Each structure stands twice: as C-alpha cells, then as structure tokens.
Structure 1
Amino acid sequence: MVIYVTAKITGNYTSLLRIAVASIIGAIIGVFAFEKIFFGVYGVFISFLMLYIAFSFFDIKSALIFFMVIFILGGISFFINNIFNRIVWIGAVAYTENSLLLSLLFCILCVVSILLFFRLFKRLLIKKNMIKKINIGFEGKNVDLYALMDTGNLLLDPVTGYPVVLVFFEKIKGILPEPLKLFMESENGLLTTMDRKYKNKICLIPYKTAGDESILKGFRPDYVILKDNKERVIKNVIVAVVFKKMSADNEFEAVLNPQI
C-alpha cells in the first residue's frame, strides 16, 4: 500500500507485479522485527531496496515521499487503533485485535486521506509557483491581475516578435481608451475612424487551435510589471484580449508567455 501511494504521488511508473515483489521483500521486515535495532540501518536499506524493485531506479525524492507516507500511515493507523482497540507491542511489532474487515477499512481511509492531502498540497504549490501577480499600464491607467505562467502560450507578435500576454477583456477594458475598446469589441475593427496614435499601438496576432485558425486583437501597453520575488518592468510585450474566462474558479485572469 505504501508503494502504491508513493507511485501515485510521484507519478513513477510501476506494475502490480513489481509492487507485489517489493511488498514481499518489505514483509521480511515483519519477520525479523522483534528486535527494534533491526529498524535502524537494515530497515532503511530494505526500504531503499523496495523502492528500487518497485520503480527500477532510486532517487531521493521518491525516498522522502516513501518515508513520509510511512509516517503518515503509521500515525493514522496508530490513532485509529488506539481509539477502537488495545495495542500490544512485542519488540518492534504492534498487534491489535481488529477484524480483517475493520483493518481493510482503516487502510482505505488512510490511502484516501494521504492522496487527498498530497493533491491539495501539490495544487497549492503549483498555484504559488505558476500564478504571478502582474500590473499592466496604458495611457496613465493601470490594472492589477493574476496571471498563469503557461509554457503552452508561445504566441509572438508577427511584426515585432514580442511575446504575447493573453488577458480576459472584462479585466483590462477599464484602462483602455474608448477607441481601443470599440476596436477590441467590434468584428470589423473600425480602423478607419481610429486616431493615428492608437493605430500604431494595435496588433493582430494569428493563432491556431485544433481545427481552427483565428486572429487575436491586441495592443502594445506602456509596460507590464511582473511581481515575483522582485518587480520586473517589461516594455517589449503585447497584450492580446480574449472574451472567455480563462479560469473556472477565477484564480487567474491572464496567461503569460514563458519568454517574459
């Protein structure tokens, strides 16, 4: 079970046969575990061997997660057994009077709890590392946004070669002058009636999706400030607008180009 949970968390490939063989090796610990000293160097060595058998390689990350899962599973099991039954220690082995069905339910509860915990932890970690706060300035106005750093956004302005930041229109329209706002919303573009100073700011970016080709309307802002560990001002950048929300839970309103 520990190996299965470790594989799920790390994403390492394994098979039921490898898990079974590694588990049998691990069960050897139970045979000799009447001496607590066995849980020292030999216990660690056998744990490393189990990981190597299960994944056909060994790395520190997998080992750390493996031991973390052991401690969490052990803690949950000890807590539940302490509530429902008396625990008897013989050497380094703990014995309980649980039925097989109750023990299986405990195992399932432990596995589900750990997987949910690590999924939440991974989501929070990704959010912290991938979602950045940015500030876009144009014509004396600016707006703060949360943006996802997406390696899949490789859009470049075909004229200048500048990287493109995708922004939800509803979040950016407040800083746009009326002529630019009308241009973004209009299907025809209204270029003929637009002031020259705004025409020079406009960009048209072609893009392709599965089975579809289209044109994104964008503009060249005065600056984009990326607020990470320290603020970085970027001027050679294009902002393209989209009219659909990018995040169902509103975690971000823009998508950054990794070249920024």
Structure 2
Amino acid sequence: MAIYLDVIWFLNFCIDLLLLVLTALVLKRSFKKWRLLLGALVASSSIFIVMTTLSPLFYHPMFKLIFSSCIVVTAFGFKKISYFIQNLLTFYFVSFICGGGLIALHFMFNNEMVILNGVVTTKSTGLGTPISWLLVVIGFPTIWLFARKRIEQMEVRKVKYEDIVQVDLFILDRQIQLKGLIDSGNQLQDPLTKKPVMVIDMNDLHNKFPKSIVQQAKHPEMIGDPSFVIDKDWEEKLCIIPYRGIGQVNQFIIGIRPNKVIVTLGQGEELDCSNVIVGLNFTNLSSEGDFNCILHPQMLIQGKKRLA
C-alpha cells in the first residue's frame, strides 16, 4: 500500500490550524496569524515522527503531553502558568469535541470494515476512500462550525442581561464613559459589515460630541448634504444604519466607527469589544437614568479578554 505522506501532512496541518483557531475563539484570545501557522506546523510534524524509529515514543502519554504543550506555547506564547494551563486544557477540549464528532460520523458512514473468520479487518488505499475524504474535507469543517456556534450559544446564556456594565468608548481623541445595559432584544447590525450596533442616548451625551455630529444625528436624512460641514476625521467614521422598530416603517440612524470600546464586567473582567458600531440615538433609553447605552449581546461573544 502506497502512503502519500505529503497529502497526509497537509491535511493534518489544516486540521491543526482550525483547532488552534477555535481554541483562540473560545478563549477570546488576541492572536497573531503567523504564530498559529507555526503552531499548526509544529503539530503536523507529528506525522513525520510516526514514520521514524521514534514512533513508540510518540505514543507515550507523557510525550503527548509535552508535545501538545509545545504546540500551545508556540501558538499563544507563555505569559504565566494559569494562562498556559487554560490554553492547554481548552486546546484538548476543542480537539476532543471535533475529533469525537469526526469519529462518530466515520463510524456512521464507514463501509471499509469487514469481518473475515471472526476477525475485523479494514481495506483502504494510500489516499483513502471517497467516503473518508468527504468526512475529513466536509465533515470536519462542519463539526468545527457546529462546535463554535454551540459554544457561542452557551456564552450568550451566561450573560446576565439585567446587569449594568461600565463601557469606555474611545473615538479619535475623546474618551467617553458610559453605563451600558446588555439587551438580548437588541439585534441591530450593520447590513454591510455585519458588525453589532450598540446604541447610545445622545440626549445625555450630546455635549461629548462636536455640534456638527449632534446635528447630523438629529437629521440622519441630511447626511451628505453640503450644508452640514463636518470635520474630515469625523466624517470618515460616519455610516448609516437602517432599522425598523415594531409598528414602524424603515428608518435609519447615524453610526460611528469607534477606535476602541472596552466593556468592564463583574469582578473587573475587561473585554475589548472594538468590533462594533455606535448608533447615535435621541430616544430616552432609561427614564431613571440607570444607563445611557444599550449593548448588543454579540459584543460580549466577540470581545477579547484583556490581561491585567
């Protein structure tokens, strides 16, 4: 039987890369692409170890632990022991989920096993069967996406929507401190970039913005009108967000792309939620003044943890 080592290596490289990416997404780690590629390269090198006289060593549990630790450190670095352990355990977690799902699909569609004289035997070629390749090429990405979505759903359920959180909004040279309510009913997204939209109460915050921006927010239908003179730096950050409320016709509000948004949760945990658009709204959000902005739940799912 011919074994196509280059094909097997490339396949393992892609799978290891997806596992490292999923690990980073689950932990909300900021990562460098070249480090993940290098980590996947280290992980896929195990194929060559198996083909040498060192193969018995590879199957030893201690060697596997050391090898997987090298993969994690290569991909995410080593900042402190708790950071390393969290990365390692999460890497195992996503590997077990995806690997277990792939094995389950394989046994469901497997037709390579036969029983001869009471002995289970398999038949395959160096390139495998079409079924096995379909399971890997299509099945693994499907399981990867399924696992990612399920994990995101679990995170949404953990969010305490009744909590008021601190929000630090950075736009150009301005920093604005807000009190935000995490609202599960806020599903507003920018239709072009699909970024979540957080809505702020301009009645309370109009003095934090230039007068031209305030006037533009009051009259979004006049955007692009030459009578509105807006500073170029601010103009480049403006966008229009269409929306429709209950019992209302299609409307739109002015949005601003911030430089950075930091959300502080309970126990001082900070999330970098900069992948968002700030909607400028003149509707009173809280009659008692408990909060002056509404956060999109997706912000907390996509947000990246900031290390102290």
Q: State the TM-score, normalized to the length of structure 1.
A: 0.46
Q: Could you say which structure has the larger radius of gyration? A: 1
Normalising by structure 2, what TM-score?
0.40
